[in-house]
Structure 1
Amino acid sequence: MNPTPTVVLVPGLRDHVPDHWQTVLATRFAGAVTVPPAADARLSRDTQVTALHDTLSRIRGPVVLVAHSAGVHTTVHWAARHHRPVRGALLATPPDFDTPLPAGHPAPRTLRENGWLPTPRTPLPFPAVVAASTDDPMARFGRVVEMAHDWGSRVVDLGPVGHLNPASGYGDWPQALDLLREFGCRPAPDTEASA
């Protein structure tokens, strides 16, 4: 029987948010690990990729990555540079960095200067599910489907869930548990009833 993988949460560029679904999800899996936010150089792709790589280097055994927003881009940039077995990845609502984002977010030029562009568009070396919103202000649904196709990933249409964050009304996201079970992840027994 395959050992249960460690769930590794890859946040976006946000600060820690207690009611974010990733934060809630971390409490549901024994031994779940969250990639720590960068203290400085937060916009640097290299800083984010290094943080993910350092986190993964401390984990023995299989892992499943759970990335949200810019964390999806961290994950695909990491996968283009590093080789470590990954059982699977849940990639939720990736933004489209090639298109200007809403006010208050970095412009494409800033993202390029910090190493985020171009977005890797080669197949990922592990199975992945891209969870896409039909009304995400950070990316048109069709663009997310294109990225998922290029990454060799299956697309799950979440419907109109905004950016799948607390601002869109999403703290808990129970569907994530079902998607993670596909990769052999099992919630801690004492959290099953609340899931």
Structure 2
Amino acid sequence: MNTPSPSILILPGWLNSGPDHWQSRWEARYGDQRVEQDDWEWPKRGDWMARLEEALLADPRPAVLVAHSLGCQLVAAWAAHTRHADRVRGALLVAPPDTERDDAPPQLYSWRPIARQRLPFPATAVISTDDPFCSPERAAEMAAQWGATLVNLGPRGHINAESGLGDWPEGRALLQALCVTD
């Protein structure tokens, strides 16, 4: 039986991903689909979850989720509530933020508490040792709770455009591993 190639859904974080961000570069280069949110500045968890559900159900193919920053929290929260998790083949979770930190911006308060249950699909969490939005210890704890394989890039900041990743071929290789089926 020939399994269709999955759709790749790009899930940016708070304030979206700009043109130099690896997510935007993948969208332009590979045709991955960005899940657009109505409000990038004051993200409401329920609204973002509904939009992800809509995007997932709009395509009959299985999906692989490519999340950055708050997009990682979106995947965890959505997976805890959806009846359609079986449509997801895997998730690449890059630079999950700690929305429970005392210094978290008020725009992110609706993302508390962090969803901590094991994800019902394979996941890879990519973290940095000097991410300003999450300590490596806290990121590793979230990855373990989600059942995600942990990849530590060392000192790469928030693993975004400012990290100098360009097209980030190493990240694309991690994504391709999640796209492979048995």
Please give the TM-score of this superposition, normalised by the length of structure 1. 0.84
**Equivalent residue letter for 1:18:** P
- Give the equivalent residue in structure 1 for 2:177: 182
- Give the equivalent residue in structure 1 for 2:54: 54
**Equivalent residue letter for 1:170:** L
Pairing 1:154–2:149 present: yes
Of residues 125-134 and 79-88 in structure 1, the stretch that sits farther from structure 2 once superposed is 79-88
Q: Provide the C-alpha distance between the structure 2 equivalents of 1:58 and 1:120, rounded to a whole number of angstroms.
A: 25
CA deviation after TM superposition for structure 1 residue 172, in Å: 2.4
More helix, by proportion = 2
- Give the equivalent residue in structure 2 for 1:4: 5
Partner of 2:14, secondary structure, is coil
**Equivalent residue letter for 1:147:** M
Structure 1 runs not aligned, ≥5 long: 186-195
- Give the equivalent residue in structure 1 for 2:63: 63
Q: Provide the C-alpha distance between the structure 2 equivalents of 1:19 and 1:168, rounded to a whole number of angstroms.
A: 10
- Give the equivalent residue in structure 2 for 1:189: none
Instruction: Give matches, 1:64-83, under 5 Å.
Output: 64-83=64-83
Structure 2 runs not aligned, ≥5 long: none
Given that 2:128 and 2:153 are in contact with CA atoms closer than 8 Å, whether structure 1 keeps it comes out as: yes
| Aligned CA distance change for structure 1 residues 21 and 40 (closer, same or farther; 3 Å) | closer
RMSD of aligned alpha carbons: 1.8
Q: Provide the C-alpha distance between the structure 2 equivalents of 1:60 and 1:54, rounded to a whole number of angstroms.
A: 12
Q: Provide the C-alpha distance between the structure 2 equivalents of 1:100 and 1:66, rounded to a whole number of angstroms.
A: 27
Equivalent of 2:108 in 105, 111, 116: 111
Q: Provide the C-alpha distance between the structure 2 equivalents of 1:40 and 1:15, rounded to a whole number of angstroms.
A: 6
| Aligned CA distance change for structure 1 residues 15 and 177 (closer, same or farther; 3 Å) | closer
Q: Provide the C-alpha distance between the structure 2 equivalents of 1:4 and 1:12, rounded to a whole number of angstroms.
A: 25
Q: What is the number of equivalent residue pairs in this alignment?
A: 177
- Give the equivalent residue in structure 2 for 1:21: 22
Q: Provide the C-alpha distance between the structure 1 equivalents of 2:40 and 2:26, rounded to a whole number of angstroms.
A: 26
Q: Provide the C-alpha distance between the structure 1 equivalents of 2:46 and 2:144, rounded to a whole number of angstroms.
A: 25
| Aligned CA distance change for structure 1 residues 158 and 54 (closer, same or farther; 3 Å) | same
- Give the equivalent residue in structure 1 for 2:159: 164
Q: Provide the C-alpha distance between the structure 1 equivalents of 2:16 and 2:71, rounded to a whole number of angstroms.
A: 12
Given that 1:72 and 1:92 are in contact with CA atoms closer than 8 Å, whether structure 2 keeps it comes out as: yes
Equivalent of 1:91 in 90, 93, 103: 93
| Aligned CA distance change for structure 1 residues 37 and 171 (closer, same or farther; 3 Å) | farther
CA deviation after TM superposition for structure 1 residue 33, in Å: 1.1
